[in-house]
Each structure stands twice: as structure tokens, then as C-alpha cells.
């Protein structure tokens, strides 16, 4: 008997050696062995909770196995991301292999690119066999992420018509308000939501607009008055929006919202992490930013253990109206919101570059899209046919297992890609898609984005110049400076390098037209 067992073990080991030499494993699993270590610095909207809990390690291990890497995630609070990125760029040798950035490319990123801190992805990314997802970046988006002909980043793809205004449907119905077609209509809604007791509790405890220290909503409001998206084409000449006469008109409007108490008095001190809490808890009724945030507030109303009751029918949950354009205009996304760069100092071999790109590419496969956005089957969701049915709604302990892993997703080739299996379109998701489609036709794009990344002066001083404009805007809304002082800051922009940026951007613009 012992001899039989020994012969069986020997035979198994011999077969195992043969299979291993041919790149296989004894169990028939032909997965690749774990490759290079991949380090990524990415955004946490739930500091201390991102990818934590009982199943967090299992989820990470599945990512590593699928992407053939050893993964190290450096989580950074969204409010600290810019500061941490600056520190990383100051010490290139210690940079993570992959850096995550929010928003659009900034002058700091462009300057870093000109100093050779990033891998030129043109040498790799267009290989569709190696990177079937990443290689499908839209040419227009790739152009806006290219500096001196080098593709410096991978975009996090987004729908163009994503920005808009969202509001409590039941509050509007209770107060007899219609969809706001004009800025005045929005003002009237915010006033009614602040002083008209929309929740019917007889208390003065609501403020119309939810707002935090992120000033993106102001950029959206500015388009309602005719301002461009960062920059505008005025009679064939590109100028920043603060040079448009409509800019001051828009700021006067926003200042009135603040002066009349229609937005939180301390908005500039409020972190983005708690931004939507006011709407969720019934303190605010209007949310201006990406409309999927409005949809998630609506999800919260429905998913709450006892649901948030509508003020018009307590037997039904509250809801949000996702409304894109006011005055027929809203802000367009750049086709992406955030991006990933690869450090040339830490991705210093083709093998390391490949490991980083393979990781980002495979995360766009169905299996990884589902894992990073919905968690584990049987734990976070069940599958009925081809439909994912979530089990963890309202259970943060389970949700934290995969929380913020979606911040590593490039969503290429498209955010509209439907995985198999997939979450069934709810009333809320259907409303979001319809709102995106409507907003896309009214979305105002930035005509200067491709040219700014190739302006030498913008790379050098663009960030500090924009900070001065943004600071002056905030101080004007708060009433800390006069209109004359605001306009003086705008004039100083020209003297401190703005005129050179105008010249360089328009020279490039004319060469294309």
C-alpha cells in the first residue's frame, strides 16, 4: 500500500514538472505567475475605510491574480490629493509607479512632463493586442493629454454631458415649483427651499444649495450666463472666461445666492468628503455638479433601511430630478475626469511599464469592473440571470470591502460599456442616462484644452495664475473684496504671464484654423 502511494506521488510530481516546464500548472490553471510589483497612489473618498473589512484582502488578491501583479495601493484623501501629488513630483525617485489625478491636466502636471517625469505612453499604449482597452482612447482626448507630442497620461473616461443641477423632486412638488429653465428660476427654487419650509416641519432648518470647498458648481453656473468652459472662443480669439463680461454677471449672481443665505455660510471650509450629506439628511435640496452624484443621493433615499419618505407621500421614498442645462447651457466634461500617469523613474524598464499598463488595462475587463464596483458575488450581490442584485445596500461594513477601488478604473473604452452580468437599469439609472443625453447637446467644451498643454508659459506659471483668479472669485463672493479689486486681479493676470499664455495659445489655435 505504501509503495502504491509513493509511486502515485512520484508520478504526480513528474507530471507537475512537465506541465510547469510547458507553462501550465498541475490543476490545469494556466494563469500567469505574479509579475512585477505595481504601486499606485489613488483617491480615497472614504479615508480609513477604502478597501477595508473582512473580505478586503480577498478582493485585492483576486485583482492581483487577474492582473498578474503584486499590488500596493497608497490611499490619499481627495482633499489632500493635490498636495500629495506635489510632494511625489518633488521626489521623482520615490514616486509610485502610477499616480492618480482628479480633474483636467494642470500646469504643474505639464511642467513635470516637460521635465521628463512621466513615461511617453505613445511607445506602448497603441498596441491593441497587449492593451485592448487602453488602446481605444479617443484621439481628441489623447491630444489634450499630450505635451510636446508625448502622451503623458491615461484618461478616466467620462460622458460629455455629465454636469447639471439636481433637486429634491418632492420638495419642488410640495412648493409648486417647476423645472428651473433660467437662472432666476434656480434662484426662486433655492429661495423657496431655504425659506419656504419644504420639509413641512415648521422649522427654519433648510438651505437651498448644497456646497463645499470644491468650486466646480460655480463653473457650471457661469455657463448659464454665457461664459465658456475655462476658456472661450470670442470672435476667433481664445480667452479665459474671467476676461468675458458675462463672468462678473455670473459672480454677482452667485454672490447674491450667498448674501441671501441660499447656500451654507461656511461653504469654503466644508470638505468634499461630506459634500452630499446635506442633501441626504434633508438639510439641502439642490446639488450642482455631476448628475450621477444626484442619482447617488436618490439611491440613498431609496436604500435607507426605512427609506427617506417623500414630503408629499410618506409611503414613498424621496427622489431627485436630474436636470442638466439651465438657459440651454451647462459645462461639458473633457471626455475624461482625472487621469493616470506612469513615473519614468519608477517605471524605469519596459517590463515595469508593461506591468503598470497591463494592470490598468485588465481592470477594464468585465470581471474586474464588477469586482471593483460591486464586490463579491454571494457577499455583496447575487446574480439572477444576467442581472446583478445588490445585497449590501445601506451596509457600510460590506461596502467598505470594495470602497474606492473604482478610483483605479480608466473606464475605457467607454463608461457606457455594459458588463455581463450587469446591474439592471433602475428608474434612477434610466433617469441618469436620459439626463446625460440631454445635457450632451447643451454642454460647453473648452476650446483651449489642447493648446494649453503645449504653452510653455502656462506650464511655468499657469497654476499660480489660476489660483489667484479662483481665490479672488471666492473672496468676492464672500464680500471680502470689491468688484474693482476683483477686476484688478484679472488685470494682474495679464501682467504676470497671462498675456504670454494668450499669445502662445492663440498662435497654436491659428495654426489649426
At 22 the pLDDT is 39
**Distance between CA atoms of residues 110 and 454, nearest Å:** 8
**Distance between CA atoms of residues 276 and 274, nearest Å:** 6
Chain centre distance of CA 454: 24
In the predicted model, is pLDDT for residue 23 greater than 60? no
* Cβ proximity of 458 and 501 under 8 Å: yes
At 26 the pLDDT is 34
**Greatest Cα-to-Cα distance within the chain, rounded to the nearest angstrom:** 98
In the predicted model, is pLDDT for residue 356 greater than 50? yes
**Distance between CA atoms of residues 341 and 150, nearest Å:** 12
Read off the pLDDT band of 24 (50, 70, 90).
Answer: very low
At 393 the pLDDT is 75
Read off the pLDDT band of 18 (50, 70, 90).
Answer: very low
In the predicted model, is pLDDT for residue 27 greater than 50? no
In the predicted model, is pLDDT for residue 146 greater than 90? yes
In the predicted model, is pLDDT for residue 17 greater than 90? no
Q: What percent of the chain is modeled with pLDDT above 70?
A: 93
Q: What percent of the chain is modeled with pLDDT above 90?
A: 85
Report in angstroms the alpha-carbon separations of 184 from 188, 224, 397. 6, 11, 43
In the predicted model, is pLDDT for residue 34 greater than 60? no
**Distance between CA atoms of residues 69 and 61, nearest Å:** 10
Q: Which three cell numbers stand for residue 164?
A: 447639471
In the predicted model, is pLDDT for residue 12 greater than 60? no
Q: Which three cell numbers stand for residue 303?
A: 436604500
**Distance between CA atoms of residues 45 and 61, nearest Å:** 22
In the predicted model, is pLDDT for residue 16 greater than 50? no
Give me the phi and psi of 494, to 5 degrees please.
Answer: -65, -45
At 305 the pLDDT is 65
At 36 the pLDDT is 87
At 494 the pLDDT is 97
Half-sphere exposure in the Cβ direction for 478 (13 Å, CA): 14
Read off the pLDDT band of 270 (50, 70, 90).
Answer: very high
Instruction: Count CB neighbours of 277 within 10 A.
Output: 15
Average pLDDT, the chain: 92
Read off the pLDDT band of 150 (50, 70, 90).
Answer: very high
At 33 the pLDDT is 55
Q: What residues contact 333, with CB distance under 8 A and at least 6 apart?
A: 158, 159, 160, 161, 162, 163, 443
Q: What residues contact 320, with CB distance under 8 A and at least 6 apart?
A: 166, 167, 168, 169, 279, 287, 294, 295, 297, 298, 301
Rg from Cα positions in the chain: 25
pLDDT for 462-472, tens place per residue?
999 999 999 99
**Distance between CA atoms of residues 80 and 43, nearest Å:** 9
Q: Which three cell numbers stand for residue 332?
A: 461639458
* Cβ proximity of 341 and 99 under 8 Å: yes
3 state SS of 393: coil
Q: Tell me the average pLDDT across 374-384.
A: 96
Grid cell 497612489 is found at 41
Q: Tell me the average pLDDT across 425-439.
A: 94
In the predicted model, is pLDDT for residue 20 greater than 60? no
pLDDT for 88-140, tens place per residue?
999 999 999 999 999 889 889 999 999 999 999 999 999 999 999 999 999 98
Give me the phi and psi of 377, to 5 degrees please.
Answer: -65, 135
422-423 and 387-390 strand pairing: parallel
Q: Tell me the average pLDDT across 245-268.
A: 98
> What are the chain's domains?
37-159+334-423 (3.40.190.10), 163-333 (3.40.190.10), 449-512 (no CATH)
At 304 the pLDDT is 62
Tell me the sheet residues that pair with 377: 381
Is residue 320 classed exposed, middle or buried when 0-12, 13-18 and 19+ CB atoms within 10 A define those classes? buried
Nearest to 96 by CA among 114, 79, 73: 73
In the predicted model, is pLDDT for residue 207 greater than 80? yes
* Cβ proximity of 280 and 394 under 8 Å: no
At 6 the pLDDT is 39
3 state SS of 30: coil
At 104 the pLDDT is 86
At 297 the pLDDT is 96
Nearest to 258 by CA among 479, 489, 429, 40: 479
Read off the pLDDT band of 179 (50, 70, 90).
Answer: very high
Read off the pLDDT band of 250 (50, 70, 90).
Answer: very high
At 459 the pLDDT is 94
In the predicted model, is pLDDT for residue 77 greater than 90? yes
In the chain, DSSP finds a helix count (H) and a strand count (E) of 19, 18
Amino acid at each position: 500500500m505504501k509503495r502504491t502511494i509513493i509511486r502515485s506521488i512520484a508520478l504526480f510530481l513528474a507530471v507537475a514538472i512537465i506541465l510547469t516546464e510547458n507553462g501550465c500548472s498541475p490543476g490545469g490553471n494556466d494563469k500567469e505567475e505574479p509579475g512585477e510589483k505595481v504601486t499606485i497612489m489613488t483617491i480615497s473618498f472614504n479615508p480609513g475605510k477604502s478597501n477595508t473589512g473582512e473580505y478586503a484582502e480577498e478582493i485585492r488578491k483576486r485583482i492581483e491574480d487577474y492582473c498578474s501583479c503584486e499590488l500596493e495601493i497608497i490611499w490619499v484623501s481627495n482633499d489632500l490629493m493635490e498636495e500629495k501629488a506635489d510632494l511625489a513630483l518633488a521626489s521623482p525617485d520615490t514616486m509610485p509607479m502610477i499616480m492618480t489625478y482628479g480633474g483636467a491636466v494642470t500646469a504643474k502636471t505639464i511642467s513635470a512632463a516637460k521635465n521628463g517625469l512621466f513615461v511617453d505612453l505613445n511607445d506602448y499604449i497603441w498596441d491593441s493586442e497587449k492593451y485592448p482597452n487602453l488602446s481605444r482612447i479617443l484621439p481628441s482626448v489623447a491630444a489634450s493629454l499630450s505635451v510636446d507630442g508625448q502622451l503623458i497620461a491615461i484618461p478616466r473616461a467620462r460622458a460629455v454631458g455629465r454636469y447639471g443641477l439636481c433637486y429634491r423632486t418632492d420638495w419642488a412638488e410640495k412648493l409648486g415649483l417647476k423645472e428651473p429653465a433660467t437662472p432666476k428660476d434656480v434662484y426662486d427654487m433655492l429661495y423657496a427651499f431655504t425659506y419656504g419650509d419644504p420639509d413641512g416641519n415648521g422649522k427654519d432648518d433648510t438651505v437651498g444649495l448644497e456646497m463645499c470647498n470644491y468650486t466646480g458648481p460655480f463653473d457650471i453656473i457661469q455657463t448659464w450666463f454665457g461664459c465658456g468652459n475655462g476658456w472661450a472662443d470670442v470672435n476667433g480669439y481664445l480667452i479665459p472666461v474671467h476676461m468675458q463680461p458675462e463672468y462678473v454677471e455670473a459672480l454677482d449672481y452667485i454672490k447674491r445666492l450667498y448674501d441671501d443665505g441660499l447656500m451654507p455660510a461656511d461653504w469654503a471650509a466644508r470638505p468634499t468628503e461630506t459634500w452630499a450629506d446635506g442633501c441626504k439628511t434633508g438639510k439641502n435640496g439642490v446639488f450642482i455638479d455631476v448628475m450621477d452624484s444626484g442619482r447617488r443621493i436618490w439611491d440613498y433615499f431609496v436604500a435607507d433601511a426605512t427609506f427617506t419618505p417623500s414630503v408629499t407621500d410618506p409611503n414613498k421614498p424621496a427622489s431627485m430630478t436630474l436636470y442638466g442645462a439651465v438657459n440651454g447651457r451647462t459645462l461639458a466634461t473633457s471626455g475624461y475626469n482625472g487621469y493616470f500617469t506612469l513615473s519614468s523613474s519608477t517605471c524605469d524598464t519596459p517590463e515595469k511599464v508593461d506591468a503598470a499598463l497591463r494592470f490598468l488595462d485588465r481592470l477594464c475587463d468585465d470581471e474586474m469592473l464588477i469586482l471593483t464596483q460591486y464586490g463579491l458575488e454571494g457577499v455583496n450581490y447575487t446574480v439572477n440571470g444576467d442581472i446583478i442584485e445588490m445585497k449590501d445596500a445601506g451596509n457600510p461594513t460590506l461596502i467598505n470591502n470594495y470602497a474606492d477601488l473604482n478610483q483605479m478604473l480608466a473606464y475605457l473604452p467607454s463608461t457606457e460599456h455594459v458588463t455581463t452580468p450587469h446591474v439592471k437599469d433602475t428608474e434612477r439609472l434610466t433617469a441618469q442616462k436620459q439626463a446625460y443625453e440631454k445635457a450632451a447637446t447643451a454642454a460647453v467644451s473648452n476650446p483651449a484644452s489642447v493648446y494649453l498643454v503645449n504653452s510653455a508659459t502656462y506650464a511655468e506659471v499657469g497654476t499660480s495664475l489660476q489660483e489667484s483668479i479662483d481665490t479672488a472669485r471666492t473672496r468676492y463672493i464672500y464680500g471680502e473684496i470689491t468688484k474693482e479689486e476683483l477686476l484688478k486681479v484679472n488685470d494682474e493676470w495679464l501682467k504676470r504671464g497671462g498675456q504670454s499664455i494668450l499669445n502662445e495659445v492663440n498662435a497654436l489655435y491659428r495654426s489649426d484654423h
